[in-house]
């Protein structure tokens, strides 16, 4: 890890003191601050106005009790969160995560990253994130519905199309957004489409939103390869996870001529040397809500399932971590490098540990951070808001073309910013600086608020 500029050390110390035990949040803040040394030198007005301190403190944090009953009428209590981090560029925007690991530190890390990611898209959206420590695994549809209704019964009072607009994340897909929207509509007596994104197409959703994060990550990686005169054609690709981001990243890799040979979930990984059969994977994951082991069993003897192993042991040209934070550490990075990986792009949020990122950069592997590479999801959410505001519906082709243009634009902005600050082709620094300066300029213009 790089050391911090002396002007930023007290800022980071304050973050540690105020947010004790929130390790993922500390990691996310450090990763941004270590990129900002050249900005501190070039734009001292940001330091004078304490912009960096202000950006590290959420504007509002909401924590609430979520009581619900299971199918046996037993009462369960979960904790709900919404961190409204920064609204300098627009209403708070960012997903909801339902996973047992969720606590304030996870929500804050995700909300903090979201500020800069959303700025990179060029869309008028601020940063926020939320969720619950609720575990949807093994729960019936009726239980999921009751949980979502209880969650929204508190959250609704903090939302609004000009205030805060949540979407999905881990454990929150189209089904959950439907239940959440239904309860919002019922409580408020308002059909306010723009209050949630990731809705079904027939009731205010956008074409290509489901595909957007995965597709966008691959569009970004395509641009990185293009800058080196290469393409996805013939490349062996690893995609971790087998949820929303992973499935649509795989689909786009295949459309661009690459082959995804391995995917995973929290129980292990599969290797399918013939290339992932995406129809089967979607049937197993999206319809049956099964495990990757079920894919292996259904696909045939040539598929290997490795319980509890690391997908990063599989040799490949391209690695797309699309599961969860800190899933790819330094050991895994060195294995990938040893096996000749050329490019790593983060479909998930912060999946690579800081030492893994340093290893990739040190070895000359092209590396794209999530806040740039996975911004396609939130960008398409902003396109959904645009369609809702104008009561319009765009075609899949039009929406995908807009997404492609946005991802190509983020790639260009990231590289030109890195270049402007004399940092070569450092995608991490380029993304952090480009996102930060847009938010900081807006905050400066709005005075001390």
Binding residues for substrate: 93, 114, 117, 168, 381
Least separation in angstroms between CB 161 and ligand NAP: 19
Q: How far apart are CA 341 and CA 366, in angstroms?
A: 9
| Helix ranges restricted to H, 256-328 | 278-282, 292-299
**CA 82 remoteness from chain centre:** 16
Q: What residues make contact with ligand NAP under the rule CB under 6 A? A: 168-171, 213, 241-246, 265-267, 322-324, 327, 347-349, 374, 377
Give the strand pairing for 318-320 and 366-368. Answer: unpaired
User: Quick one: 19 or 242, whose CB is closer to ligand NAP?
Assistant: 242
CB nearer to ligand NAP: pick between 55 and 239: 239
Nearest-approach distance from CB 180 to ligand NAP, in angstroms = 15
Q: Which helix (H) or strand (E) covers residue 367, if one does?
A: strand 366-368
Residues in Cβ contact with 87 at an 8 Å cutoff, skipping those fewer than 6 apart: 59, 126
Among 206, 202, 227, which residue's Cα sits nearest to residue 215?
A: 206
What letter would DSSP give residue 160?
B
Q: Which is nearer to ligand NAP, 52 or 144 (CB)?
A: 144
User: What letter does residue 313 receive in the DSSP assignment?
Assistant: G
CB of 164 to ligand NAP, least distance (A): 17
Angle between helices 396-420 and 427-445 (to 10 degrees): 90
Catalytic, out of 2, 42, 108, 129? 129
Chain centre distance of CA 323: 10
Single out the residue of 78, 45, 107 nearest to residue 349, CA to CA: 107
Q: Which two tokens stand for residue 17?
A: 């003191």
* DSSP codes, 387-440: HHHTT----HHHHHHHHHHHHHHHHHHHHHHHHHTT-TT-HHHHHHHHHHHHHH
Tokens 């009751």 belong to which residue? 146
What SS3 class is residue 328? strand
Binding-site residue set: 93, 114, 117, 168, 213, 244, 381
Whether residue 129 lies in the annotated active site? yes
Please give the structure tokens belonging to residue 363: 């070895």
CB of 100 to ligand NAP, least distance (A): 10
Residue 234 Ramachandran class (φ > 0 left, ψ -120 to 50 alpha, else beta): left
Q: Which is nearer to ligand NAP, 197 or 388 (CB)?
A: 197
Of 4 and 410, CB closest to ligand NAP: 410
The CB-of-381 to ligand NAP minimum distance in angstroms stands at 8
Q: How far is the CB of 266 from ligand NAP (least distance, A)?
A: 3
Q: Which is nearer to ligand NAP, 33 or 350 (CB)?
A: 350
Q: Catalytic amino acids?
A: 129
């Amino acid at each position: 890890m790089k050391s911090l500029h002396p002007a930023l050390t007290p800022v980071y110390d304050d973050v540690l003191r105020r947010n004790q035990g929130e390790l993922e949040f500390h990691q996310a803040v450090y990763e941004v601050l270590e990129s900002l040394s050249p900005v501190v030198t070039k734009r001292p007005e940001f330091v004078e106005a304490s912009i960096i301190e202000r950006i590290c403190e959420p504007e509002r944090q909401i924590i609430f009790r979520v009581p619900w009953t299971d199918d046996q009428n037993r009462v369960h209590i979960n904790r709900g969160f919404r961190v409204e981090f920064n609204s300098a560029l627009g209403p708070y925007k960012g997903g909801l995560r339902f996973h047992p690991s969720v606590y304030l530190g996870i929500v804050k890390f995700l909300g903090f990253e979201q500020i800069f990611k959303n700025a990179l898209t060029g869309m008028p959206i601020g940063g926020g994130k939320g969720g619950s420590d609720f575990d949807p695994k093994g729960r019936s549809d009726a239980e999921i519905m009751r949980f979502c209704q209880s969650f929204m019964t508190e959250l609704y009072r903090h939302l609004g199309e000009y205030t805060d607009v949540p979407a999905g994340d881990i454990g929150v897909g189209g089904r959950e957004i439907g239940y959440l929207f239904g309860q919002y509509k019922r409580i408020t007596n308002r059909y306010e489409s723009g209050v949630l994104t990731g809705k079904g197409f027939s009731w205010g959703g956008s074409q290509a939103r489901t595909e957007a994060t995965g597709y966008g990550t691959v569009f970004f990686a395509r641009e990185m390869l293009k800058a080196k005169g290469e393409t996805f054609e013939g490349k062996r690709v690893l995609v971790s996870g087998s949820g929303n981001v992973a499935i649509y990243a795989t689909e786009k890799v295949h459309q661009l001529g690459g082959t995804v040979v391995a995917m995973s979930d929290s129980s292990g990984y599969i290797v399918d040397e013939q290339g992932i059969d995406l129809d089967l994977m979607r049937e197993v994951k999206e319809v049956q809500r099964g495990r990757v082991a079920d894919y292996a069993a259904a696909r045939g003897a040539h598929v290997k399932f490795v319980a509890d192993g690391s997908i990063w042991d599989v040799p490949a040209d391209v690695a797309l971590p699309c599961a969860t934070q800190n899933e790819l550490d330094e050991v895994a990075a060195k294995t990938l490098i040893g096996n000749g990986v050329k490019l790593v792009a983060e479909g998930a949020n912060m999946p690579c540990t800081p030492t893994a990122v340093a290893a990739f950069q040190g070895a000359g592997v092209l590396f794209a951070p999530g806040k740039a590479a996975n911004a396609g999801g939130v960008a398409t959410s902003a396109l959904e808001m645009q369609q809702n505001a104008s009561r319009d519906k765009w075609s899949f082709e039009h929406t995908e073309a807009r997404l492609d243009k946005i991802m190509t634009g983020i790639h260009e902005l990231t590289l030109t910013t890195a270049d402007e600050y004399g940092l070569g082709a450092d995608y991490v620094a380029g993304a952090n600086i480009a996102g930060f300066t847009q938010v900081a300029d807006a905050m400066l213009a709005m005075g001390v608020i």
